[in-house]
């Protein structure tokens, strides 16, 4: 009977004979090994750039996602970050994790009729939020657009003029719109970014893997990536920080505007609203009917950028109607004529030449008509 | 389906072996080059550009006249009537002679002092109907001509609010008209914008065509070293 063998064990003798180690096979194997090792070394060579002090500690490596951390774990994480910030910037930060307020949904409104394009918001934001100064990261982009169009393709955010505003342009600042239907959240493969109950889309900088999908998904160019190790002079660090907002970021993570949540969740205004010299920026709780933003949505001509993409932004642009200062052209013509007759006598007292007839004619046409009749 | 041709495979074997050797040698050379190259690709990054903090002061744009109104006269704060009860304050020619020279009056047709200031009591403002209000109530005065803006300001859709976004919070303060607008010249003056963005994402660095080849390994050999060590950056070229 023929032997049926299922497995040729090491003890099997009928297998092929062990190849002899010849000079040729030695050289061949050796060269292959050297080549392979060299290739491996070449592939691993970027690791040489990994400085040991930048490498994450074991605790940081094992840190859980923001939403999965218990209070104690969060405190430990905060402590670790505090220590790191202190090491790097010689400042003990006031770092905490601030939760959203109940019954609050933040909304932002921006008056395009009032914005003069001075870029103060851009730099106030940078001072507040500890962005990298070099390479430069800014959350707000002020686009100078020719009047008569809303096509951002025609805009320019590198405008450099001796003075603003320019008569032929208007200015449209763009930052994170905190969408109610955020595409950036949908594309994140690791759920490192999500929408909070108060409407702010936040990022867990320790969970982000830096794939930049969100940057590509955002129709408002709102997300910024730390391509290089962020640089921030020690004396410019803002020590008032929270976990989800302005704590210092690392290389390779995404960041963006978060409505200054370390301020706004404590009732304060965002930095860009506070600095705006014209009051073009408005911020508040849309669930409060008395708030300024609710009034704007109710009474002003409001629009959102790229409405057609369906992101439902919480950032609204609005216009003022032209304010007629109650002077109708006919009354103004009469007033100007009177002014010419009288000349510009600034300090004129009523006793000297009677009341200022030009002003009255301009602002109270009925009065003037009565006098004439 | 291609049938395996033993003859041709035998013929191609030396060629394949040669290719294998070349590949091995290539890897060895590559590894050597990578190890010999500088420790990291050094990307020049511009020094931190900071905007002067004095340009970023939060608060009202200008200081409004408060109650009681005072003016610095020879370095001493004086109330209005201290002078105006003694000196005749207006002239047929219309110009102020000693004080208030700094005032630039550019308020359209409204170019008479006593249209807003009370002729008898200079520490009060006069309304159209002859009643007077204090300087602190100046929005009432403005509202006589600028009614639509005033309504917007009351609702909070015009003007600036400081302190808190919480409605009716203690710290919330809505600035009044003359904390932003100069009542004598209400139009905003054009201002110098702060510096624009530098969108080079790795920071400021040499332009590709004038670079020393740090970003392109091939250029390292194509161009001699040392030449043009100080290359103009994009920022400098733009100037």
Task: Kindly list the distances between the CA atom of residue B236 and the CA atoms of B45, B215, B231, in Å, as whole numbers in the listed order.
Answer: 14, 20, 10
Summarised one tens digit per residue, pLDDT across range B145-186 is 888 889 999 999 999 999 999 998 889 999 999 999 999 999
| Collapsed DSSP state (helix, strand, coil) of residue A240 | strand
Task: Count Cβ neighbours within 10 Å for each residue of B163-199 and write b for 16 or more, e otherwise.
Answer: ebbbbeeeebebbbbbbbbbbbebeeeebebbebebe
Cβ of A35 and B23 within 8 Å? yes
The reply to whether omega before A135 is within 30° of 0 (cis) is yes
pLDDT band at B206 (very low <50, low <70, confident <90, very high): very low
Contacts of A122 in chain B (CB under 8 A): 194, 197
pLDDT band at B211 (very low <50, low <70, confident <90, very high): very low
Name, in order, each residue with C-beta under 8 angstroms of A227's C-beta and a sequence gap of 6 or more. A135, A251, B201, B202
| Per-residue tokens: A233 | 């002079």
Cβ of A279 and B119 within 8 Å? no
- Outline where DSSP puts E strands in chain A: 94-96, 106-111, 141-146, 169-174, 193-195, 201-203, 224-225, 240-242, 254-255, 281-285, 301-303, 315-319
B229 close to A (CB below 8 A): no
DSSP notation for A119-171: -HHHHHHHHHHT--TTTT--S-EEEEEETT---GGG-BS----SSB--TTEEE
| Collapsed DSSP state (helix, strand, coil) of residue A108 | strand
Contacts of A332 in chain B (CB under 8 A): 109
Indicate which of A121, A134, A327 best probes the interface with B, i.e. most B CBs within 10 Å of its own CB.
Answer: A134
Q: Could you identify the residue written with the tokens 């170019």?
A: B111
A291 close to B (CB below 8 A): yes
Hey, which residues 50-109 in chain A have their CB within 8 Å of chain B?
A: none
Contacts of A121 in chain B (CB under 8 A): none
Cα distance between residue A169 and residue A228, in whole Å: 35
Partner-chain residue, chosen from B91, B157, B192, that has the shortest CB–CB distance to A163: B192
Contacts of B158 in chain A (CB under 8 A): 111, 279, 320
- B160 CB-contact burial (10 Å; exposed 0-12 / middle 13-18 / buried 19+): buried
Contacts of B52 in chain A (CB under 8 A): none
Contacts of B51 in chain A (CB under 8 A): 123, 126-127
Contacts of A366 in chain B (CB under 8 A): none
Q: What's the pLDDT score for residue A310?
A: 95
Residue B237 has pLDDT above 90, yes or no: no
Nearest CA in chain A to B175: A279
| Collapsed DSSP state (helix, strand, coil) of residue A269 | coil
Regions in chain A scoring below 50 on pLDDT: 347-348, 350-353, 368, 371-373
Indicate which of A54, A175, A292 best probes the interface with B, i.e. most B CBs within 10 Å of its own CB.
Answer: A292
Cβ of B50 and A267 within 8 Å? no
Hey, which residues 116-135 in chain B have their CB within 8 Å of chain A?
A: 119, 128
Fold assignment, A106-319: Alpha-Beta Plaits (3.30.70)
Contact (CB, 8 A) for B48 and A134: yes
Task: Kindly list the distances between the CA atom of residue A236 and the CA atoms of A357, B52, B129, B196, in Å, as whole numbers in the listed order.
Answer: 57, 11, 54, 19
Contacts of A164 in chain B (CB under 8 A): 190-193
Helix axes A23-44, B6-36, angle to 10 degrees: 50
Q: What's the pLDDT score for residue A68?
A: 95
Residue B41 has pLDDT above 70, yes or no: no
Cβ of B202 and A116 within 8 Å? no
The mean pLDDT value of chain B amounts to 75
B35 close to A (CB below 8 A): yes
A278 close to B (CB below 8 A): yes
A186 close to B (CB below 8 A): no
Cβ of B28 and A38 within 8 Å? yes
Q: Is the ipTM of this complex over 0.95?
A: no
Nearest CA in chain A to B169: A267
Q: What's the pLDDT score for residue B12?
A: 63
Q: What's the pLDDT score for residue B168?
A: 85
Mode of pairing for the β-strands spanning B161-162 and B173-174 = antiparallel
Summarised one tens digit per residue, pLDDT across range B98-148 is 677 778 888 887 877 888 888 888 889 988 888 999 999 999 999 988 888
Indicate which of A115, A199, A335, A346 best probes the interface with B, i.e. most B CBs within 10 Å of its own CB.
Answer: A346
Cα distance between residue A155 and residue A137, in whole Å: 20
Q: What's the pLDDT score for residue B65?
A: 85
Residue B219 has pLDDT above 50, yes or no: no
Cα distance between residue B168 and residue B152, in whole Å: 17
Indicate which of B19, B120, B165, B181 best probes the interface with A, i.e. most A CBs within 10 Å of its own CB.
Answer: B165
A116 close to B (CB below 8 A): yes
Q: What's the pLDDT score for residue A283?
A: 96
Q: Could you identify the residue written with the tokens 């074991």?
A: A58
- Outline where DSSP puts E strands in chain B: 70-73, 76-79, 124-126, 132-134, 161-162, 173-174
pLDDT band at B220 (very low <50, low <70, confident <90, very high): very low
Residue B76 has pLDDT above 60, yes or no: yes
Q: What's the pLDDT score for residue A79?
A: 94
Residue B230 has pLDDT above 60, yes or no: no
Cβ of A274 and B58 within 8 Å? yes
B10 close to A (CB below 8 A): no
DSSP notation for B65-92: P-SSPEEEETTEEEEHHHHHTTS----T
Q: Which ranges in chain A are annotated with CATH 3.30.70.20?
A: 106-319
Partner-chain residue, chosen from A135, A299, A363, that has the shortest CB–CB distance to B157: A299
Contacts of B28 in chain A (CB under 8 A): 34-35, 38
Residue A60 Cα to chain centre, angstroms: 26
Name, in order, each residue with C-beta under 8 angstroms of B164's C-beta and a sequence gap of 6 or more. A267, A268, A269, B171, B172
Cα distance between residue A165 and residue A35, in whole Å: 64
Q: Which residue has the higher pLDDT, A261 or B92?
A: A261
Closest CA relative to residue A126, chosen from A115, A116, A134, A118: A134
Q: What's the pLDDT score for residue B53?
A: 82
């Amino acid at each position: 009977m023929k032997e049926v063998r299922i497995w040729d064990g090491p003890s099997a003798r009928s297998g092929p004979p062990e190849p002899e180690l010849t000079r040729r096979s030695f050289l061949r194997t050796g060269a292959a090994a050297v080549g392979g090792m060299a290739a491996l070394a070449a592939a691993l060579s970027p690791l040489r750039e990994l400085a040991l002090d930048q490498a994450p500690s074991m605790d940081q490596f094992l840190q859980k996602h923001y939403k999965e951390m218990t209070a104690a774990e969060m405190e430990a994480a905060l402590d670790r970050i505090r220590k790191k910030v202190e090491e790097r910037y010689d400042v003990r930060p006031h770092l905490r994790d601030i939760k959203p307020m109940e019954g609050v949904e933040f909304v932002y409104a921006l008056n395009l009729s009032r914005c003069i394009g001075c870029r103060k918001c851009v730099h106030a934001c940078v001072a507040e939020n500890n962005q990298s100064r070099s390479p430069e990261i800014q959350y707000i982009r002020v686009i100078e657009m020719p009047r008569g169009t809303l096509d951002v393709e025609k805009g320019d955010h590198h405008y450099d003029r001796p003075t603003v505003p320019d008569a032929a342009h208007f200015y449209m600042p763009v930052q994170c719109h905190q969408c109610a239907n955020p595409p950036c959240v949908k594309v994140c493969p690791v759920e490192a970014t999500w929408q909070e109950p108060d409407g702010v889309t936040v990022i867990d900088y320790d969970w982000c893997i830096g794939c930049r999908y969100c940057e590509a998904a955002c129709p408002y160019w709102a997300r910024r990536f730390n391509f290089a190790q962020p640089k921030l002079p020690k004396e410019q660090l803002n020590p008032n920080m929270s976990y989800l907002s302005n704590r210092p970021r690392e290389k390779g993570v995404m960041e963006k505007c978060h409505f200054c949540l370390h301020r706004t969740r404590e009732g304060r205004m965002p930095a860009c609203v506070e600095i705006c010299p014209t009051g073009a920026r408005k911020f508040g709780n849309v669930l409060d009917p008395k708030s300024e933003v609710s009034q704007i949505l109710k009474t002003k001509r409001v629009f959102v950028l790229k409405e057609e993409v369906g992101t439902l932004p919480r950032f609204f642009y609005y216009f003022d109607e032209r304010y007629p200062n109650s002077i109708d052209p006919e009354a103004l013509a009469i007033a100007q004529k009177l002014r010419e007759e009288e000349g510009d006598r600034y300090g004129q007292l009523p006793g000297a030449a009677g009341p200022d007839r030009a002003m009255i004619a301009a602002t109270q046409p009925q009065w003037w008509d009565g006098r004439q009749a | 389906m291609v049938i395996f041709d033993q003859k041709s495979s035998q013929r191609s074997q030396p060629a394949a072996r040669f290719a294998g050797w070349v590949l091995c040698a290539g890897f060895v050379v590559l590894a050597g080059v990578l190890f010999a190259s500088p420790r990291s690709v050094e990307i020049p990054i511009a020094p931190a550009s900071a905007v002067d903090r004095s340009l970023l002061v939060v608060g009202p744009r200008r200081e409004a006249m408060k109650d009681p109104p005072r003016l610095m006269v020879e370095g001493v704060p004086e109330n209005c009537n201290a002078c105006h009860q003694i000196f005749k304050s207006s002239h047929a020619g219309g110009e102020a002679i000693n004080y208030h020279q700094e005032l630039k009056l550019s308020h359209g047709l409204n170019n008479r002092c006593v249209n807003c200031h009370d002729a008898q009591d200079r520490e009060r403002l006069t309304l159209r109907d002859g009643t007077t209000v204090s300087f602190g109530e100046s929005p009432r005065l403005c509202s006589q001509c600028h009614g639509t803006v005033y309504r917007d300001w009351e609702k909070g859709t015009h003007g600036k609010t400081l302190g808190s976004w919480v409605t009716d919070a203690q710290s919330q303060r809505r600035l009044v008209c003359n904390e932003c607008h100069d009542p004598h010249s209400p139009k905003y003056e054009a201002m110098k914008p702060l510096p624009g963005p530098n969108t080079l994402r790795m920071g400021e660095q040499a332009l590709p065509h004038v670079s020393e080849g740090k970003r392109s390994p091939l250029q390292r050999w194509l161009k001699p070293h040392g030449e043009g060590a100080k290359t103009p950056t994009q920022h400098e070229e733009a100037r």
